[in-house]
């Protein structure tokens, strides 16, 4: 890897690491004041356990060999990965991908907020990483889904759709928060939410533009797309809710920004021109309504992981079928419908997402059921009522 690219990948990796605390604040602010530390800990736990697993066997299973469905054990403990032949390029890539592996299970924490036992979460994360994230990642990047021609630049299918549908499976086993949906549980600190949003947006430039794994034009276009899609989605969400609910809210702006970032993630290195504005705008509009699904169908996705990450990821991933522009990137991927292609790419996008959805939902559901039958997944009623911060961690956020 050349020096410029290596520098960009390393910087991007650090930026992606920063997204996990960003996510923690984004979720933590939306949580109640008695559960905010539990939320932060669920997120920080992911950057404790995942790097260790990634080094021991995660990377090897996710990228080793040329298997269609799962990697191999060639790189256990990163065996044989040197820094001399390629200027450290492969090791930088492994670090970069490790950050992605860490934030993906963290996304699910927003759905199970306020009621999941930390011991259950502590076991859920490594199991989910190895049984769901790693295989789906391999299918998309170097496995059968990628080979069929589906596109996922920075993890729309492998990360957001994957974690989003897992969040749905998890809350179906976990059950609703006490009192929901009758009792209101509004965010306890909107300033925390906004700080988290800012950190996420900043880190997302590394997430998307870093996924070019090079300092080149594609990285630059991915950077610009990340900039524009988030702005467009935030704008649309705020306008819609201003008209619909009466006020332009901070939470609407934050939610729109994140929805736009999620939606542009799979498309970032394949679209250009006004496409990021359209993809972001559609994501803002669709997700603004999708967050209402939980009240209609009564699944308690506490902080809207399904409505924002699953739906946003799906929207962005499917829109690639319309907007992919290989000529602009001098790329070998298929054209989207608006650039002279047929519906083939759109179909591949649908197949890829459907496959990820089925696997992720089923395996997550099984993991949660097994945990429920063995150590239990829910805190007892007293802890849920008095707060998980003190009940599980012996700490209080505010005195």
Partner 1 sequence: MKLITAIIKPFKLDDVKDALKAAGVQGLTVSEVRGFGRQGGHSETYRGAEYKIDFVPKVRFELVVEDGAVDPVIAAIKAAASTGKIGDGKIWITDIDRLIRIRTGEEGPDAI
Q: CA-CA distance, 226 to 220, in Å (whole number)?
A: 10
User: 262 with 208: CB under 8 angstroms?
Assistant: no
Q: Shortest gap between Cβ of 162 and partner 1 (angstroms)?
A: 23
The only residue of 249, 337, 369, 390 in contact with partner 1, by rule CB under 8 A: 249
Binding letters toward partner 1, positions 156-195, x by CB under 8 A = ----------------------------xxxx--------
Among 247, 274, 327, 380, binds partner 1 (CB under 8 A): 247
CB of 292 to partner 1, least distance (A): 6
Q: Is 255 in the site for partner 1 (CB under 8 A)?
A: yes
Pick between residue 148 and residue 292 the one whose CB is nearest to partner 1: 292
Nearest residue (CB) to partner 1, 148 versus 244: 244
Chain centre to alpha carbon of residue 124: 17
Nearest to partner 1 of 79, 183 (CB atom): 183
Of the pair 187, 326, the CB lying nearest partner 1 is at 187
Distance (Å, whole) CA 258 – CA 115: 24
Which range touches partner 1 (CB under 8 A), out of 86-94, 96-104, 147-155, 284-292?
284-292
Strand partners, 378: 116
| Contact set for partner 1, span 301-340 (CB under 8 A) | 304
Residue with tokens 């990634």: 54
Number of residues that bind partner 1 (CB under 8 A): 18
Residue 267 Cβ, how far from partner 1 at the closest point, in Å? 24
Q: What are phi and psi of 178, to 5 degrees?
A: -55, 125
Quick one: which of 95, 137, 103 has its CA closest to 6? 95
Task: Answer whether the bond into residue 256 is a cis peptide, omega within 30°.
Answer: no
CA distance 105 to 367: 13
User: Nearer Cβ to partner 1, position 152 or 304?
Assistant: 304
Choice between 104 and 255, CB closer to partner 1: 255
Residue among 259 and 264 whose Cβ is closer to partner 1:
259
- In the complex, minimum distance from the CB of residue 262 to partner 1, in angstroms, rounded to a whole number: 15
53-56: Cβ within 8 A, 24+ apart: 53/126, 53/129, 53/130, 54/94, 54/97, 54/98, 54/101, 54/102, 55/98
Q: What are phi and psi of 213, to 5 degrees?
A: 50, 30
Give the Å distances, CA to CA, from 24 to 31, 47, 127, 128, 181: 10, 11, 21, 19, 23
Given the rule CB under 8 A, which of 138-146, 159-167, 250-258, 346-354 is the region that contacts partner 1? Answer: 250-258
Of positions 52, 244, 386, 395, contacts partner 1 by CB under 8 A: 244
* Binding footprint of partner 1 on the chain (CB under 8 A): 184-187, 241, 244-247, 249, 251-252, 255, 288, 291-292, 295, 304
């Amino acid at each position: 890897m050349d020096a410029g690219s290596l520098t960009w990948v390393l910087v991007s990796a650090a930026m992606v690491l920063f997204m996990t605390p960003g996510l923690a604040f984004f979720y933590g602010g939306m949580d109640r004041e008695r559960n905010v530390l539990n939320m932060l800990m669920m997120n920080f736990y992911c950057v404790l356990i995942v790097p260790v697993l990634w080094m021991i066997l995660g990377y090897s299973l996710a990228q080793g060999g040329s298997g269609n469905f799962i990697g191999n054990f060639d790189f256990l403990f990163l065996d044989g990965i040197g820094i001399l032949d390629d200027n450290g390029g492969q090791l930088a890539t492994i670090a970069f991908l490790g950050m992605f592996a860490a934030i993906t299970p963290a996304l699910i924490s927003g759905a199970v907020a306020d009621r999941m036992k930390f011991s259950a979460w502590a076991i859920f994360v490594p199991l989910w990483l190895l049984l769901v994230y790693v295989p789906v990642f391999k299918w998309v990047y170097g496995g059968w889904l990628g080979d069929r021609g589906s596109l996922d630049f920075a993890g729309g299918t492998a990360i957001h759709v994957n974690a989003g549908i897992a969040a749905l499976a998890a809350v179906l086993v976990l059950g609703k928060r006490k009192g929901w949906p009758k009792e209101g549980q509004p965010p306890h600190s909107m300033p925390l939410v906004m700080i988290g949003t800012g950190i996420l947006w900043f880190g997302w430039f590394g997430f998307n533009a870093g996924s070019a794994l090079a300092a080149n034009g594609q990285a630059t276009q991915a950077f610009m797309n990340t900039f524009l899609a988030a702005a467009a989605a935030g704008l649309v969400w705020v306008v819609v809710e201003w008209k619909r609910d009466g006020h332009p809210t901070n939470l609407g702006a934050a939610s729109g920004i994140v929805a736009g970032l999620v939606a542009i993630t799979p498309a970032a290195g394949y679209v250009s021109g006004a496409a990021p504005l359209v993809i972001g705008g559609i994501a803002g509009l669709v997700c603004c309504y999708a967050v209402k699904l939980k009240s209609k169908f009564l699944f308690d996705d506490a902080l809207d992981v399904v409505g924002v990450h699953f739906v946003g990821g799906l929207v962005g991933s499917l829109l690639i079928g319309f907007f992919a522009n290989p000529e602009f990137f001098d790329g070998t991927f298929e054209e989207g419908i608006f650039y002279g292609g047929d519906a083939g790419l759109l179909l591949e996008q649908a197949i890829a997402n459907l496959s990820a959805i089925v696997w992720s939902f089923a395996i997550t559901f099984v993991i949660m059921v097994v945990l429920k039958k063995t150590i239990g997944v829910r805190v007892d009623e007293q802890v849920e009522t008095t707060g998980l911060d003190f009940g599980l961690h012996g700490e209080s956020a505010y005195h």
